[in-house]
Structure 1
Amino acid sequence: MSRTWIELGSTAALSGLYLRAARKRKISGDRLPGTGLRCHLSVDPKQLQAYRKLCHFSDDGRLPPTFPHVMAFALQMQLLTAKDFPLPLLGLVHLHNSIRVLRPLGGINRLRFSVHVENLQPHEKGATCDLITEAEDGLGLIWCETSRMLCRGLKLSGDAPAVDEPETLPLSELTRWYADSDIGRRYAKVCGDYNPIHLSAASARLFGFPTAIAHGMWSKAMALAALRGHLPVSGYEIGVAFVKPVRLPSEVILNASPAAAEGQLQLDGHGELVHMRGAWRPLS
């Protein structure tokens, strides 16, 4: 489909976007908008430093592969709270996230981001759509991300697409970490994602969770930081499925296949609980 792009000089304030999200609680349609947003965004050195510390990334002169997601967060929020987006943002479930690093993320001060939604389709628990985020420098596309979101209240005709399950590789423990009770608030302070399900047990219970849960993108960032010896500088894709939320506080264990061009990872809890599964591969 042809897409209409809206060029922005800056993103809207997050405070206003959260108010807009809180006001919309109902599904308003079953068609995704044909518009997208574009905006030039600069790296905030203080935010980058705080993010590296929070997610255990070393300062190697390159942006962490998950940091452009943080840079684009307000732009994504602006798209998902617009009047023509039919799904209520509060209540959407992040099922899957895939990041492609096309070229090295070094020496970057400013990027041009584009965000849009596509691929509305049936799911056994409702319907899903893909939030597409792309970042360009002066040479063209350098990074892109697909986040698959589930809306439980929307029912579409047709069957949910079949999901191919790859053959599981042998995994062994790479590292483990403790997700303490305030990691959701600390992540929100750095990244701006103040979803109530991550902030406290009291606010999480309003959305059906018995306790606060960790941000999925914090778990993915921690995993990528631990996998730095497994991944190349660029030319790869790493996707993860968020299986079961990490309840706070809890300890998690990252298991991974040996360092190779292609590999798999799994974030486990105790008692055979699987939080996240994923894989990386070179770009063709």
Structure 2
Amino acid sequence: MQWQTLSNRPFLPPLYWRAALKRKISGTSLPDLGLRCRVSVDPKAVAVYRKVCGFADSPMLPATYPHILAFGVQMQLLTDKAFPFPLLGLIHLSNRIRVHRPLGGVGELWIGVHAQNLKPHAKGATFDLITTVEDALGLLWEGESRMLCRGVKLSGPAEDEPLPTPAQVSELTRWNAPSDIGRRYARVSGDYNPIHLSALTARLFGFPQAIAHGLWNKARSLAALGEHLPAANIELFVEFRKPVRLPSEVHLSASAAGSSGEWVLNGAGGIEHMVGRWQPIG
């Protein structure tokens, strides 16, 4: 892996312009490239993120917040000329977070981003976008987002083992996903994908309504789970099923608090939006 160190967090507008211009698949292999960048945690930005995602005040960063710190670096990688797949149109299938140590007293951090594990899929090909966060003591946090690019032709069998629907769960809470949550989350995350912003922009990409960001659904669920979850040495895995159309009401069901467990986010008519589990890091 060839690692490149960025002098500053990437400025997003040019990256969105680059993403808009690339609409075709240009290859079938991932670049041997990783990006690193030093970032600072802004307490005011964290406070706004907490409000948008429903997290209570705490000295600990939300487990999903490092994704916000890393978003610009991820965009820089995914819009690089060597990256073969167009960013617009990528589908986020699943997300795994590993919190190795408590996310408290965090100031200066190093973010690392690279892509790996390109595999055939029934609808194209998948790859894993890997994000690591380190502090002065070493590895603090890891994220793994599995992305699908439709239309990629790879040889070999397509492997797909979905997470089973949790059985031993009971309803914990429910909430409304308002029509403007995509725009509000975009302002705190930098993710202005048109499918999340309005019905008008979502229709350009085949969606009848705007849909909530998958990572907002995950963050909102983790905020609701709250004391169910350990603060560290925890892996949080979710699969995104059907998108949450905006506006809509959803309800969260989960197993009892403990070192491991499961949850599911459902909508009207029992539709499964997301299934997840938590467990100690193995």
Q: Common fold, TM-score beyond 0.5? A: yes
Give the AA of the match of 1:80: L
Question: For residue 75 of structure 1, what is the aligned residue in structure 2?
Answer: 73
Distance 1:126 1:166 in 2: 23
Of 118, 121, 125, the match for 1:120: 118
Of 251, 255, 262, the match for 2:249: 251
Aligned residues: 282
Question: For residue 6 of structure 2, what is the aligned residue in structure 1?
Answer: 8
Question: 5 Å matches for 1:1-284?
Answer: 3-163=1-161, 165-166=163-164, 168-284=166-282
Distance 2:234 2:138 in 1: 17
Give the AA of the match of 1:53: K
The superposition leaves residues 193-225 of structure 1 with CA deviations (integer Å, 9 ceiling, x where unpaired) of 100000000100000000100000000000111
Distance 2:226 2:269 in 1: 27
Distance 2:263 2:16 in 1: 33
8 Å contact kept, 2:166–2:263: no
Distance 1:258 1:176 in 2: 17
Deviation at 1:116, TM superposition (A): 0.1
Distance 1:47 1:241 in 2: 27
Change (3 A) 1:8 1:59: same
The superposition leaves residues 94-131 of structure 1 with CA deviations (integer Å, 9 ceiling, x where unpaired) of 00000000000000011100000000000111110000
Structure 1 residues not aligned, in runs of 5+:
none
Distance 1:46 1:168 in 2: 37
Give the AA of the match of 1:118: Q
8 Å contact kept, 1:169–1:263: no
RMSD of aligned alpha carbons = 1.0
Q: Secondary structure at the match of 1:21?
A: helix
Deviation at 1:165, TM superposition (A): 4.4
Deviation at 1:166, TM superposition (A): 4.9
Change (3 A) 1:10 1:51: same
Q: Runs (4+) of structure 1 moved beyond 6 Å? A: none
Q: TM-score, normalised by structure 1?
A: 0.97
Give the AA of the match of 1:220: K
Give the AA of the match of 2:266: D
Give identity over the alignment, percent: 60
Q: Secondary structure at the match of 2:15?
A: helix
